[in-house]
Chain A
């Protein structure tokens, strides 16, 4: 295919779907018309969970590796923040400056993720889910029993973001914009990466590892690098998460929470990076408002049922439902746009990399 042909069509302003502009404006203006609760507890929290789920979506959707250890990676970054930075518990808390702690935490998480990858890429498919689940559970038990480094059952509290440029970053509105900026950054990075050389070869490896191996690609290294990159996303989300909560304990990296991340990604849909964010919004809304419908205690039943229904009836999650609905009522903007571009480009359509 002609190089550049893949991207040249995308740069025209007329090609951008008006709905996307509406979404962008909505996200930017969101804090101005909502309360602090909606900005912080719903908005920022959805974006953080969405980022963790995005790191899973990147691995699972493009790499075919369903990892249940993404939250463990995020939690590891959170623990590193508490260990190297400041906390109010009096254990560890080396008091490093923020510009050192944050990169160390994120890179540490990425390396940890690459290690998990190195362990699990030796096996394939269904084994990956089992091994990463075992790693997640083992990490949970380990931090609960280790008092020297991870402060055991109590964990850490009082982990605060630095006050920069005179802004207290844990205040709802600055924190919302911080998470929005980072989430948008990683969203577009994943979107771009999926069409870049590395992303394309990763998807090819997902579809046929043996052929890619025969073509001279190092399958194992590609997969481990994918784990490393997803570790950067998950680690960043973990830093935000520990600031969001102000504390971290074994309960934050428990199996139920790790599975919630999988639920979010699956419910949202793993075909496109927007899926995890949709799933996260649905999850957080359910978590906060399901109490009005049923007993708070039975939240897990509701979320489990929702997950089960999505897996049983719409394997592509909310994204799949959306595209079905759109096709039915004939709102198929993308198809029309693609057709228009196809005519313009002399019949050369952008190839679809979806399965």
Chain B
């Protein structure tokens, strides 16, 4: 942090000023000229929170994707299918058992097991052949999408989250001050804040796991040099299977979390696959921190695009990707 300020003083000042303006826009009561320029403050703040929570959801999906790529150089294009399958399994279990949390747990475990099976049965056979692995995942995603359509049909499903996650809460942010002098506070759905908390918790958990445990150390070593890790006596296949399990499990977990925040329907697999792709391209493949930054950027861009220029929302997300590729082809946090 300090070295960044010393090396790029100009950019540090720009970022600092932007952050200050942003905080002011969130917490201050807006003067009239600002409201007439970009609309009501409520829209702005809600869009901002929607963007951040959507970013949290994208992070949950993309962190598994980037983790698997970082270690195994395997672009798992079936990641979106895993998300959707996790959502469906979680839904069935939650309906049958009546417990949303049990559904979440089973979705995580079931998709983690499917990830291990994929790694052991298929990817191990074609190690080092990136393109073939990717093609295989495309084949799997075609079949998975079709079979899921056959089982769960085209209907949209909606989760019932637990009672205490339902409803809205008041944020300590004033939207407008009425002429009577009473302040109106902004309300926001609790569940979306819970998504954000879950994403932050998973992010911190992953960071601790990768940086503070022995297995995490092995994984990081494997990212840098697979052969050396194998040569130093680590069972690389076991580490691979574990990472694949975590990465896939996170997709299943995100499936239930995201399916509750929005809904479950065919086609969501492609949507989240696209989100993960752009997030990791922007953030840098293989970097969990990069996935967090990328997810935040993409989530914000998508929501602000939707609120302020609806037709071209997709283009905004896409532009971010192009700009990042033009300036830093390896992604914001990507190393070479």
Among candidates A119, A145, A298, A311, residue contacting B322 with C-beta atoms closer than 8 Å:
A119
Known interface pairs A122-B325, A298-B150; A307-B281 also in contact (CB < 8 Å):
no
CB atoms of B143 and A130 under 8 A apart: no
Q: Which residue of B lies closest to A66 (CB)?
A: B131
Distance of A300 Cα from B140 Cα, bound (Å)? 11
Q: Does B234 contact A (CB under 8 A)?
A: no
Distance of A309 Cα from B136 Cα, bound (Å)? 9
Known interface pairs A131-B325, A134-B321; A126-B142 also in contact (CB < 8 Å):
no
Distance of A298 Cα from B125 Cα, bound (Å)? 28
A96 to chain B, nearest CB (A): 26
Distance of A297 Cα from B151 Cα, bound (Å)? 12
Known interface pairs A134-B274, A137-B274, A308-B139; A142-B315 also in contact (CB < 8 Å):
yes
- Chain B residues whose CB sits within 8 angstroms of the CB of A133 once the complex forms: 77, 274, 277
CB atoms of B322 and A262 under 8 A apart: no
Q: Does A305 contact B (CB under 8 A)?
A: yes
Q: Does A255 contact B (CB under 8 A)?
A: yes
CB atoms of A129 and B75 under 8 A apart: yes
Q: Which residue of A lies closest to B274 (CB)?
A: A137
- Chain B residues whose CB sits within 8 angstroms of the CB of A259 once the complex forms: 138, 142
- Chain A residues whose CB sits within 8 angstroms of the CB of B317 once the complex forms: 138
CB atoms of A300 and B146 under 8 A apart: yes
Q: Does B124 contact A (CB under 8 A)?
A: no
Q: Does A301 contact B (CB under 8 A)?
A: yes
A116 to chain B, nearest CB (A): 10
Q: Which residue of B lies closest to A133 (CB)?
A: B277
Q: Does A95 contact B (CB under 8 A)?
A: no
Among candidates B125, B146, B278, B312, residue contacting A301 with C-beta atoms closer than 8 Å:
B146
CB atoms of A307 and B277 under 8 A apart: no
CB atoms of B325 and A119 under 8 A apart: yes
Distance of A212 Cα from B247 Cα, bound (Å)? 38
Q: Does B41 contact A (CB under 8 A)?
A: no
Among candidates B130, B146, B147, B325, residue contacting A126 with C-beta atoms closer than 8 Å:
B130
Task: Encode contact with A along B126-154: 1 for CB under 8 Å, 0 otherwise.
Answer: 00001110111011101101110110000
Among candidates A130, A146, A301, residue contacting B281 with C-beta atoms closer than 8 Å:
A130
- Chain B residues whose CB sits within 8 angstroms of the CB of A130 once the complex forms: 75, 277, 280-281
Distance of A138 Cα from B325 Cα, bound (Å)? 16
CB atoms of B131 and A145 under 8 A apart: no
B73 to chain A, nearest CB (A): 7
Q: Does A158 contact B (CB under 8 A)?
A: no
Among candidates B134, B147, B149, B330, residue contacting A129 with C-beta atoms closer than 8 Å:
B134
Known interface pairs A298-B146, A304-B143; A142-B138 also in contact (CB < 8 Å):
no
Among candidates B136, B145, B270, B280, residue contacting A137 with C-beta atoms closer than 8 Å:
B270
CB atoms of B277 and A134 under 8 A apart: yes
Distance of A311 Cα from B322 Cα, bound (Å)? 31
- Chain A residues whose CB sits within 8 angstroms of the CB of B122 once the complex forms: 312
Most buried by A among B136, B310, B315, B329: B329
CB atoms of A123 and B314 under 8 A apart: no
Q: Does A98 contact B (CB under 8 A)?
A: no
Q: Does A315 contact B (CB under 8 A)?
A: yes
Q: Does A251 contact B (CB under 8 A)?
A: no
CB atoms of A304 and B142 under 8 A apart: yes
Q: Does B311 contact A (CB under 8 A)?
A: yes
A101 to chain B, nearest CB (A): 26
Distance of A120 Cα from B322 Cα, bound (Å)? 9
- Chain A residues whose CB sits within 8 angstroms of the CB of B207 once the complex forms: none
CB atoms of B142 and A307 under 8 A apart: yes
Q: Does A180 contact B (CB under 8 A)?
A: no
Distance of A301 Cα from B142 Cα, bound (Å)? 7
Distance of A312 Cα from B130 Cα, bound (Å)? 13
Of residues 247 through 304 on chain A, the ones whose CB sits less than 8 Å from some CB of chain B are: 255-256, 259, 262-263, 266, 297-298, 300-301, 303-304
A-B residue pairs in contact (CB < 8 Å), sample of 16: A119-B325, A126-B75, A131-B321, A134-B274, A134-B277, A134-B278, A134-B281, A142-B312, A255-B270, A259-B138, A262-B138, A263-B142, A297-B150, A304-B146, A307-B142, A311-B139
> 13 other contacts beyond A130-B280, A145-B312, with CB at 8 A cut-off?
A120-B325, A133-B77, A134-B274, A134-B318, A138-B314, A142-B318, A145-B311, A255-B270, A262-B138, A301-B147, A305-B143, A307-B135, A311-B139
